[in-house]
């Protein structure tokens, strides 16, 4: 087996804590409007639109649409569901960009900084390039470049996204390791010949969530966080 | 006019000194092989294949080909012209990747680091993503993301490349400023509505070269180097 040269990262849930961040932003906005909103439930409802939105693109019902656009479609619907009405376009757009300002898990920046010394590191996310760029700038994520869905106009777990990571970096698939908290993502990466690292994020979906907690046969390395991953990979 | 939010940079010649770097690498390789080569002349010959190579893609004579691939086609030809024969495939490939290891101009990293605090900064180069990624890693260029030719499969000065910078960053063209040492690049950027900054690089083509030295009407800002650019832009 060739040695690993690049690590590519799922981002929402694996690198950043979307649920807490989105909940905080919507709660703050609601408060400014004199409303009360269950921020965590709002975040969960928003995220629940993610898979179906991508499926509409995958099926051809929608043309290629960036994640910002899919987020906005869901947002427009759930604002009504949650009784948040009368926002200006600028306020709605700013809330939609809450996904550009998610907080990283506590080990993420330190672990990535270590890993960057030994490997190329890049997100391989369904987030669009501007979202990933803003997120990196907001949180100091030290990516070497930004890969992912927008470069090939396919959403994970479509095979094209995993293939593109090796292809664009001019590496063999086995020289690229996918890092994710989600087994479906690692299984799809493994099927394309990438190596895989699993990092559990027990609180991604909140205290009552059902995250993946244990590696399965698709996983080459299991680490408890990014610092542990760096140590296991000698970085 | 909206304020500038992102600066995008021509790279070969504007950020990095390709001629000195390539000359040094080919001279070192020739020496190891017991040959003598005029490194600067070799670098000039290699670079002379750049425009014609891109034209073969532009005209449809070649399918989309990354700059690494165009560099290699020229390299295979000029190695013979310069009498450098008998290299292994690994040696030839390593030499082709000299373009992944170019040295930045002395002000580049410091200036970019200042500019990054106020703006999104990204290369908008004809170099492919893996080349730009390696170059950034090699020289510590602190890009926020990597834009450019490979994302749209067009080479500058095709309009698609300039349009893509604003489109991918979700900005208006006037919120993006192109920084280059080459007026043809700035003229094309200006035509697409981008703002423009000219930074002369008097030694790009060596002591006998004919670089652009003075701004023309396509230039919004002229700076003597990246630190001066940062100061003029309040970064």
Do residue A34 and residue A107 come from a single domain?
no
Interface test with A, best of B144, B153, B166, B235 (most A CBs within 10 A): B144
- In a domain, residue B143? The reply is yes
Interface test with A, best of B170, B175, B235 (most A CBs within 10 A): B170
Task: Please give the pLDDT value at position A2.
Answer: 78
Do residue A150 and residue A39 come from a single domain?
no
Q: Mind telling me how many Å the CA of A174 is from chain B's nearest CA?
A: 17
Residue numbers in B near A169 (CB within 8 A): 129-130, 133
Look at residue B223 and tell me whether its pLDDT is greater than 80. yes
Look at residue A1 and tell me whether its pLDDT is greater than 80. no
Ramachandran class of A100: left when φ > 0, alpha when ψ lies in -120 to 50, beta otherwise: alpha
- In a domain, residue A1? The reply is no
Q: What residues in chain A have their Cβ under 8 A from chain B's Cβ atoms?
A: 68, 120, 122, 128-130, 132-133, 136-137, 143-146, 150-151, 168-170
Band (B34; pLDDT cuts 50, 70, 90): very high
CATH number at residue A22: 1.10.150.240
Do residue A90 and residue A115 come from a single domain?
no
Q: Mind telling me how many Å the CA of B132 is from chain A's nearest CA?
A: 9
Q: Mind telling me how many Å the CA of B215 is from chain A's nearest CA?
A: 31
- In a domain, residue A86? The reply is yes
- In a domain, residue B215? The reply is yes
Look at residue A223 and tell me whether its pLDDT is greater than 80. yes
Do residue A94 and residue A107 come from a single domain?
no
Residue numbers in A near B130 (CB within 8 A): 168-170
Residue A36 buriedness (CB in 10 A; 0-12 / 13-18 / 19+): exposed
Task: Please give the pLDDT value at position B2.
Answer: 78
In B23-153, where do the E strands start and end? 103-104, 120-125, 147-148
Do residue A143 and residue A213 come from a single domain?
yes
Boundary residue ending a domain (A100, A121, A143):
A100
Interchain CB distance below 8 Å, B144 and A132: no
Residue numbers in A near B151 (CB within 8 A): 151
- Summarize the confidence of residues A67-91 as an average pLDDT: 97
Q: What is chain A's mean pLDDT, rounded?
A: 97
CB pairs under 8 A between A and B: 47
What stretches of A33-119 show up as alpha helix (H) in DSSP? Answer: 39-48, 50-58, 67-81, 89-96, 108-118
Do residue A112 and residue A82 come from a single domain?
no
Cβ–Cβ < 8 Å for A102, A131: no
Tokens at B226, concatenated:
């990246």
Q: Which residue has 């979700």 as its token pair?
A: B170
- In a domain, residue B171? The reply is yes
In chain A, % of residues over pLDDT 90: 99
Boundary residue ending a domain (A68, A84, A100):
A100
- Summarize the confidence of residues A101-111 as an average pLDDT: 98
Do residue B47 and residue B81 come from a single domain?
yes
CATH number at residue B192: 3.40.50.1000
Boundary residue ending a domain (B100, B119, B139):
B100
Task: Please give the pLDDT value at position A199.
Answer: 98
Do residue B33 and residue B71 come from a single domain?
yes
Closest CA to B182 of B122, B125, B116: B125
- In a domain, residue B1? The reply is no
Do residue A95 and residue A207 come from a single domain?
no
Do residue B125 and residue B24 come from a single domain?
no
- In a domain, residue B81? The reply is yes
Interchain CB distance below 8 Å, B130 and A68: no
Looking at the 3D structure of chain B, how many domains does it have?
2
Closest CA to B149 of B88, B44, B66, B33: B66
| Closest CB from A120, A132, A150 relative to B137 | A120
Interface test with A, best of B6, B72, B115, B146 (most A CBs within 10 A): B146
Cβ–Cβ < 8 Å for A4, A176: yes
Do residue A148 and residue A223 come from a single domain?
yes
| Closest CB from B128, B137, B144 relative to A133 | B144
In terms of residue numbers, what domain contains B139?
6-17+102-232
Interchain CB distance below 8 Å, A144 and B133: yes
Do residue B112 and residue B228 come from a single domain?
yes
Task: Please give the pLDDT value at position B179.
Answer: 99
Band (A113; pLDDT cuts 50, 70, 90): very high
Task: Please give the pLDDT value at position A16.
Answer: 98
The total of other beta-carbon atoms located within 10 Å of residue A133's CB is 27
- In a domain, residue B132? The reply is yes
Q: What is chain B's mean pLDDT, rounded?
A: 97
């Amino acid at each position: 087996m060739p040695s690993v040269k690049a690590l590519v990262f799922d981002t929402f849930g694996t690198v950043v804590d979307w649920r807490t961040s989105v909940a905080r932003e919507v709660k703050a906005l609601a408060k400014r409007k004199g409303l009360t909103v269950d921020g965590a439930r709002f975040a969960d409802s928003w995220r629940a639109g993610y898979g179906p939105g991508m499926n509409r693109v995958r099926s051809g019902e929608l043309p290629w649409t960036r994640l910002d656009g899919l987020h906005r479609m869901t947002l427009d619907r759930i604002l009504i569901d949650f009784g948040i009405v009368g926002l200006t376009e600028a306020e709605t757009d700013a809330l939609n960009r809450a996904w550009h300002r998610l907080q990283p898990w506590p080990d993420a920046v330190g672990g990535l900084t270590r890993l960057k010394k030994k490997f190329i590191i890049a997100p391989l996310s369904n987030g669009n390039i501007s979202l990933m760029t803003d997120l990196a700038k907001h949180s100091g994520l030290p990516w070497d470049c930004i890969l992912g869905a927008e470069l090939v106009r396919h959403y994970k777990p479509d095979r094209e996204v995993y293939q593109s990571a090796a292809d664009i970096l001019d590496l063999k698939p086995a020289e690229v390791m996918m890092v994710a908290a989600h087994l479906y993502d690692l299984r799809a990466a493994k099927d394309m010949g990438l190596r895989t690292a699993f990092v559990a994020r027990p609180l991604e979906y909140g205290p009552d969530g059902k995250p993946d907690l244990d590696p399965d046969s698709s996983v080459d390395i299991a680490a408890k966080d990014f610092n542990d991953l760096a140590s296991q990979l000698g970085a």
